[in-house]
Amino acid sequence: MTTPQQAPPMTQTILDTIRELRPHLPMITVSSTLTELGLDSLDRLLVATAVEASTGACITDAALTAAMTIADLAHAATSTTAAPPPPPTMLGIIDPDAVVGAGTRLWHQAQVAAGAVVGADCTLGKNAYVGSGSRIGDRVKIGNGANLFGVIVDDDAMISPMVGCFEDPAPRATVDGRRKNAGEFTARPVRVGRHASVGGGALLAPGVSIGADAMVAVGAVVHRDVPAHALVAGNPARQCGWVCTCGWTLNADLACPGCGRTYRPDQDTIVPAAGSGDR
């Protein structure tokens, strides 16, 4: 009497994974075709992902598509090994003379231009651009596709996807028939205060200052300064309320329905009421 041979480790891992996926099938062997087992493209992707996670192998899309049997899949998994994922900062572009702090993550096609400084523990989403002269604080989130030209952003602020911040108060492509360069205008940088939030698609005109803890609504066009804690919306942006440190809009009594903080007026802004506390 012969003893059945134990399948190679990679093959056994694939068999075990498919048995978990298709427990009702009576017989699964190395020669079983993936079609016979009823594995559609999504099932095959689930099997490949599970195998990669448990073994460190790398099954390419082409190999997964071409595989007809379990043996084919095992061969594809053992013929390549997974390359270590690049550090997050390597997914974007850091130009020479740009400075990026520790723990900051740049995702695909994000770029920090020469002369820009980005602090520690920030996140730059896909296609985000931080232009020359920009100064970004610590723990700032910059969303996908945001374009920041010469901006100053304080710690803990949030710049949502597709935001535009501009610095040239008199933009032209050319001067006297020749290409205009960076030295031919006086920059008026946008400033975004600590813990402020700028909503998706908002546009901030040159020289605008967004106060600490303020909130700019989605799609707003901001052409004048925004006080701390103010909520502005529209085109042109106008103040339509006040927001708490936690992000909720305050009620008519300047109380937060989210965290319970209360505020009181103070000149052109608001401050925490006595005993309310702040962050």
Left, alpha or beta for 248 (phi > 0: left; psi -120 to 50: alpha)? beta
Q: Which residue has the tokens 């401050």?
A: 271
pLDDT digits (tens, 9 = 90+) for 204-231: 999 999 999 999 999 999 999 999 999 9
pLDDT digits (tens, 9 = 90+) for 141-187: 999 999 999 999 999 999 999 999 999 999 999 988 899 887 888 99
Give the span between the Cα atoms of 129 and 140, in whole angstroms. 14
Contact between 152 and 133 under an 8 Å Cβ cutoff? The reply is no
Give the span between the Cα atoms of 238 and 191, in whole angstroms. 18
Burial class (CB in 10 A: 0-12, 13-18, 19+), 96: exposed
Contact between 7 and 29 under an 8 Å Cβ cutoff? The reply is no
Give the span between the Cα atoms of 90 and 104, in whole angstroms. 11
pTM above 0.75, yes or no: no
Look up the CATH architecture of domain 129-243: 3 Solenoid (2.160)
Cα end-to-end distance, the chain, whole Å: 76
The stretch 108-123 carries a mean pLDDT of: 95
pLDDT given for residue 30 in this prediction: 77
Look up the CATH architecture of domain 9-79: Orthogonal Bundle (1.10)
Query: What are the residue boundaries of the structural domains of the chain, listed by start?
Result: 9-79, 129-243, 245-279
Backbone angles phi, psi at 89, to 5 degrees: -65, -20
In three-state secondary structure terms, 267 is coil
Which residue type sits at 213? D
